[in-house]
Amino acid sequence: MVIGASPSVIRCSDDQIVLGDNLRFSHQYAEAARVLERAVTESPKSPQPLVSLAEVRMAEQKYDEARAVLERTLALVPDHLEALRRLGDLAFLRADMNAAGSRYARILELDPTDVPAMTKLGVVRMRGGRTDEATRLFRGAIERDPKNGDALLYLAGTLASTGHPQDALPYFERAIAADPKSTMALNGLGLTLLSLGDKAGAGAALKQSLRIDPSQKDIAQALAGTGR
């Protein structure tokens, strides 16, 4: 709520945010931006229309504009969690792992239970070669959200890539249970099983992945190697 604003203005802004978000979900980005820009004008001290507008710009891949809008949000609310999160995501897209890591780490300073920030910071640490820290973050995310498919998948991938393929298997399986259509999880399971010599299990997982997305040439080649 914007302090000092009339109830009618607040309701109007809230309605515009909902409409703008719905237009974004239906990929009507130009109209969504117009609605949300109007909401920003009518409620200049409210961060939410700015965050929603930034999401539209991100969906349009107008990343510089999105970043500028999010910086405006932080000028209003310096530790706005969703603005920090999206700035982290934008930095990640630019492969600026230092900037991304600082944004996600700040979220965790404000809320140590934030599972998405834990998971994303874990990915940043993994890409920076800090696998022990990444593993700790992924495990922490899973403790708080045992069915979080992203955290399960990333933990499995980290274990598999650091010489612990057997330990990775149950996490791949749990990631698939959380999202049966995740080709990444199915491929990870299949390739890990293949590395352990289980061609039958690998073939089953890779076949399932190819049923979901038949265009995966590398996976088709890996499946051929199983003899299935």
In the chain, the amino acid numbered 36 is: L
Identify the residue with better confidence: 30 or 4. Answer: 30
pLDDT score of 117:
98
Burial 178-192 (b: 16+ CB within 10 A, else e): bbeebbbbbbbbbbb
pLDDT, residue 222, reads: 96
Q: Give the Cα separation of 199 and 223 in Å (integer).
A: 9
Name the nearest CA neighbour of 117 among 94, 153, 90, 88.
88
Question: What's the start-to-end Cα distance of the chain, in Å?
Answer: 60
Residue 2 has pLDDT above 60, yes or no: no
Rounded to whole angstroms, how far apart are CA atoms 219 and 206? 7
Whole-number Å distance between alpha carbons of 152 and 141: 9
The reported pTM is 0.85
Task: Tell me the per-residue pLDDT of 82-121, one tens digit each, with 9 for 90 and over.
Answer: 999 999 999 999 999 999 999 999 999 999 999 999 999 9
Q: Residue for token digits 């929603």?
A: 52
pLDDT by residue (tens digit) across 120-156?
999 999 999 999 999 999 999 999 999 999 999 999 9
